[in-house]
Structure 1
Amino acid sequence: MSPILIKTIQFFLSLSLLIVLHELGHFIPAKLFKTRVEKFYLFFDIKFSLFKKKIGETVYGIGWLPLGGYVKIAGMIDESMDTEQMAEEPKPWEFRSKPAWQRLIIMLGGVTVNFILAVIIYIGMAYSYGDQYIPMNSLPDGIWVAEENIGNALGIQTGDQIVAVDGEAIENFDTLLGKIINGNTITISRDGSTFQKEIPIDFISTLLEDEEKIRYALRLRIPFVIGGVSETSLNKDSGLTEKDQIVGIGNSRIKYFDEAKPILEQYKDQQVAFKVKREDKELEIPIMISDSATIGVALGGMTFEEMEDLGYFKLETRRYTFAESIPAGIEKGVNTLTSYVKQLKKIFNPETGAYKGVGGFAAIGSMFPDTWNWPAFWSTTALISIILAFMNILPIPALDGGHVTFLLYEMVTGRKPSDKFLEYAQMIGFFLLIGLLLFANGNDIYKWLVK
């Protein structure tokens, strides 16, 4: 199956699940408070529906436009802009006739369900899979800065130990880049001294110069293992084979792949004796180095377990009982939400350049792996669920947060905003959302066409 098709299936499966559960978060309390729900839709049904069926007083359906979903609650000014209904006298079963506290619970239901869903997923993942990670303090010779422009921007180099970001110790290597993106200062240990550097305010803009390389910018230092020898290579008959590990070039010993390049630069257009570890033996093989300081091989690799056995780092595995997985899942949910809020703050600061990374549906779809992987699917779904929860609670008219803001105003002042004011606010919010949607998806199109 095509990788793009696999991503697309995962995207729509995840999105459908999140939309249905979000809308259930509004639907269930509405029903509990005896408020009539006229429609319950997955996706939008502008002009026509792909499917619809009326059960009781509610029409359940699937629209053709996959930009979200909705429940149409009687007596509520929402995206349907049903002004005719609002012009009539309020009915007991309508949203506007209910006490403010009940309306508040109905409006908070969607985002509450989204956050709870994310926590439940994280609990399930902690219990089912546990955590396997590489502690930062287990890297004996620091990290590999694979992208020089990113290293230069941060003032770090290969071999540095990254001690902390914003004074908080980095425990897990996998969280390093995310912490730096959200951080302001980085603490570095180099050659026995420890010092602090400011993270440039436009560092995110530097990262976005080549998004394909972001995830590989700061890497684990790995051995130089041969993955294969090109048929057009000068060294195709040299005797190098797949899984060979290069441990020496000329008179220099190497442990890491990143140590090879500067040595190869010294021997351009020369034949040099390479020391090669094959199984338990060390061989010496003459290798021709090209004028571009390459030897015509593909980089291979070892499993994490094999590299751990050779002392490159340590693998920590943390298993949870069901009782232990509950606080672990809650903590993961809170940490993910906190991290997202920090990222959003940077997006709203033009100096960071983070707005260039805002993406639409293509960007969300690209978050899923191109092979079917349940842990990755559920992890991505949980992240999107938290994003939807936070974005929906923003105090923007047309979003749940806009309705909540007006309800809180009513509860505090005792004065309910007029229906006409709410209609205008809904329209303004709708156009703001359309603008954001066009900007985000326009960014996707721009990256596709230009980059």
Structure 2
Amino acid sequence: MTSILVRSIQLLLSISILIVIHELGHFTLAQIFKVRVEKFFLFFDPWFSLFKKKIGHTIYGIGWLPLGGYVKISGMMIDEKNVSSKETEKNWEFRSKSAIKRLLIISGGIISNILLSIFIFTCLLFKYGETYLPTKNVKYGIEVDSLGEKIGFKNGDKILFVNEKYIPYFNDIPKAILLGNSVTVDRMGKIIKLSLNNDKKRFLFDRKKISFFIKPRVPPIINHVIQNSEAEKYGLKNNDEILSINSESILFSDQLKDLLSKYNNENIAISINRNGKLIQKNVFIDSKGILGIYLKNFMDLDKIFSFEKMNYSFFESIPHGVTKSLEVLKNQIFFFKNVFHIETKAYKQIGSFFSMAKEFSSKWNWDIFWTLTATLSIWLAFLNLFPIPSLDGGYILFILIEMITRKKVHEEILERCTIFGFVIISLIMIFIIIWDIFKVFIS
């Protein structure tokens, strides 16, 4: 229950930051071009608001419905009696300004979200830098889970190329596979080319949780012995390297997992390497084949794998922050494109607030919080570019039409399209929420 509360608070804070920054973009440019903003609200306020205060010409407030926020700009929508009546236009109204100024005001939210994403990634890179594992240093090949096997990989495969290109860093290989059409691997000296068609990508999109379907293959070294487990009872310790079970040699973690699955309610003989000393233990395996240990992953084995750490000054972090935001945007465009390919089942990954909350850590983690906020910020900018009336992209489309035809779109048409767009978006949101509830509580 505590983890749900922590995730919910993080999500609410993240969304609040994104909304305020987005609306602040519209507000700031409106102020620059001397356009009045009548309302600036975090969250929607149908019927009543939790808080509001008028300062100057603007009412600032917090609504009770956390599905978004808004700024009400003077003269964006006018009363029917004033439609197309230029005599009634005030110089502080939105409709009195030139097309380019109106375009910038409407684009302010999108621009702000893009800048926020870049700023957050820049700060994270400045503080933590980046750690990469060069592909050439993955000397034992890869370990795969059941998903990786369905795609066609096998334990020990060494990835040579994705889409006929060498990927310098292993961190980038999973994403390259998702975006690619083929993978070339070295399988025990034999060069094999695996195709990545939509049927195979379906396995990636259809998974119930995000997991590493490939990772560097590692020796079976104990990272942590679980308290009160059989492993602790029989004297296994952290950093022990398991060499064999019942005289069957073990070189890698995946081999240990496969062997342990064969033994249930049995005593087994384990040979271990403890600081260069060979030790044998007789250990009982329970009915589930669980020994009671966690093994080290490749991130814990910097003595075996040579990582590259890159640190940046603040100004060096800026172009890398831009690159990071562009990478996130590219991934989102790829995902959106695949949503419409039914065979990939990418639509199953669509979610509402329930799905977003699950991405946050169950314990408060600022690194994860800011990374997800930066990701959601660029996602919000992308969605608002869609040329749908009531979204920023819809208004941008009408202004671009005006700039091309040199004629304003009739106010009545604009208003009707906006209402229609709002209804469509509301229905889509309701459908997504119902779909998400179905996934979380039923499937």
* TM exceeding 0.5: yes
Give the aligned residue type for 1:282.
L
Corresponding residue for residue 224 of structure 1: 220
In the TM superposition, 1:136-175 aligns within 5 A as: 136-146=135-145, 148=146, 150-175=147-172
Corresponding residue for residue 195 of structure 2: 198
State whether residues 206 and 348 of structure 2, in contact with CA within 8 Å, keep that contact through their aligned partners in structure 1: no
Aligned length: 440
SS of the residue corresponding to residue 197 of structure 1 reads: strand
Give the superposition deviation at 1:162.
Answer: 2.5
State whether residues 37 and 74 of structure 1, in contact with CA within 8 Å, keep that contact through their aligned partners in structure 2: yes
Give the superposition deviation at 1:266.
Answer: 6.5
Cα distance in 1, alignment partners of residues 174 and 52 from structure 2: 46
In the TM superposition, 1:2-401 aligns within 5 A as: 2-77=2-77, 89-146=88-145, 148=146, 150-212=147-209, 214-226=210-222, 227-228=224-225, 238-264=234-260, 271-288=267-284, 294=289, 296-302=290-296, 307-309=301-303, 311=304, 313-401=305-393
What is the aligned-residue RMSD (CA, Å)? 2.6
Quick one: which of 423, 426, 446 aligns to 2:415? 423
Cα distance in 2, alignment partners of residues 231 and 367 from structure 1: 31
Cα distance in 1, alignment partners of residues 124 and 341 from structure 2: 34
1:46-66 CA distance string (max 9 Å, x none): 111100000111100000000
1:229-275 CA distance string (max 9 Å, x none): 68685x77544345533121233322221012444466677654321
Cα distance in 1, alignment partners of residues 32 and 301 from structure 2: 57
Cα distance in 2, alignment partners of residues 382 and 102 from structure 1: 27
Give the aligned residue type for 2:22.
H
Give the superposition deviation at 1:164.
Answer: 3.5
- Structure 1: runs of 5 or more not aligned: none
1:389-443 CA distance string (max 9 Å, x none): 0000111111101111111111011121111211221122112211221232222
SS of the residue corresponding to residue 39 of structure 2 reads: strand
Relative to structure 1, the CA distance from residue 91 to residue 142 in structure 2 (aligned partners, 3 Å threshold; closer, same or farther) is: same
State whether residues 19 and 42 of structure 1, in contact with CA within 8 Å, keep that contact through their aligned partners in structure 2: yes
Give the superposition deviation at 1:446.
Answer: 0.9
Relative to structure 1, the CA distance from residue 384 to residue 167 in structure 2 (aligned partners, 3 Å threshold; closer, same or farther) is: farther
Cα distance in 2, alignment partners of residues 324 and 236 from structure 1: 48
SS of the residue corresponding to residue 297 of structure 1 reads: coil
Out of 83-92 and 334-343, give the one that drifted further: 83-92
Percent identity (aligned): 38
State whether residues 224 and 299 of structure 1, in contact with CA within 8 Å, keep that contact through their aligned partners in structure 2: no
1:103-144 CA distance string (max 9 Å, x none): 001011110111111111111111111001322321111111
Out of 411-420 and 64-73, give the one that drifted further: 411-420
Give the aligned residue type for 2:421.
G
State whether residues 41 and 62 of structure 1, in contact with CA within 8 Å, keep that contact through their aligned partners in structure 2: yes
Relative to structure 1, the CA distance from residue 352 to residue 372 in structure 2 (aligned partners, 3 Å threshold; closer, same or farther) is: same
Relative to structure 1, the CA distance from residue 130 to residue 44 in structure 2 (aligned partners, 3 Å threshold; closer, same or farther) is: same
State whether residues 74 and 95 of structure 1, in contact with CA within 8 Å, keep that contact through their aligned partners in structure 2: yes
State whether residues 285 and 291 of structure 2, in contact with CA within 8 Å, keep that contact through their aligned partners in structure 1: no
When the two structures are superposed, what TM-score results if normalisation uses the length of structure 2? 0.91
SS of the residue corresponding to residue 91 of structure 1 reads: coil
Cα distance in 1, alignment partners of residues 17 and 233 from structure 2: 55
SS of the residue corresponding to residue 164 of structure 1 reads: strand
Cα distance in 2, alignment partners of residues 269 and 361 from structure 1: 44
Relative to structure 1, the CA distance from residue 304 to residue 205 in structure 2 (aligned partners, 3 Å threshold; closer, same or farther) is: closer
Out of 167-176 and 6-15, give the one that drifted further: 167-176
Give the aligned residue type for 1:278.
R
Give the aligned residue type for 2:279.
L
SS of the residue corresponding to residue 371 of structure 1 reads: coil
Cα distance in 2, alignment partners of residues 18 and 85 from structure 1: 34
Out of 86-95 and 409-418, give the one that drifted further: 86-95
State whether residues 54 and 60 of structure 1, in contact with CA within 8 Å, keep that contact through their aligned partners in structure 2: yes
Cα distance in 2, alignment partners of residues 165 and 94 from structure 1: 54
Relative to structure 1, the CA distance from residue 57 to residue 305 in structure 2 (aligned partners, 3 Å threshold; closer, same or farther) is: closer
Relative to structure 1, the CA distance from residue 365 to residue 231 in structure 2 (aligned partners, 3 Å threshold; closer, same or farther) is: closer
Give the aligned residue type for 1:372.
W
1:360-388 CA distance string (max 9 Å, x none): 01111222212222222111111000000
When the two structures are superposed, what TM-score results if normalisation uses the length of structure 1? 0.89
Give the superposition deviation at 1:10.
Answer: 1.5
Give the aligned residue type for 2:312.
Y
State whether residues 153 and 200 of structure 1, in contact with CA within 8 Å, keep that contact through their aligned partners in structure 2: no
Cα distance in 2, alignment partners of residues 136 and 95 from structure 1: 54
Relative to structure 1, the CA distance from residue 267 to residue 74 in structure 2 (aligned partners, 3 Å threshold; closer, same or farther) is: closer
State whether residues 140 and 216 of structure 2, in contact with CA within 8 Å, keep that contact through their aligned partners in structure 1: no
Cα distance in 2, alignment partners of residues 444 and 176 from structure 1: 30
Give the aligned residue type for 1:199.
L
Give the aligned residue type for 1:94.
E
Relative to structure 1, the CA distance from residue 100 to residue 349 in structure 2 (aligned partners, 3 Å threshold; closer, same or farther) is: same
Relative to structure 1, the CA distance from residue 237 to residue 114 in structure 2 (aligned partners, 3 Å threshold; closer, same or farther) is: closer
- Structure 2: runs of 5 or more not aligned: none
Give the aligned residue type for 2:291.
V
SS of the residue corresponding to residue 16 of structure 1 reads: helix
Give the superposition deviation at 1:176.
Answer: 3.2
Relative to structure 1, the CA distance from residue 34 to residue 265 in structure 2 (aligned partners, 3 Å threshold; closer, same or farther) is: closer
Cα distance in 1, alignment partners of residues 106 and 185 from structure 2: 46
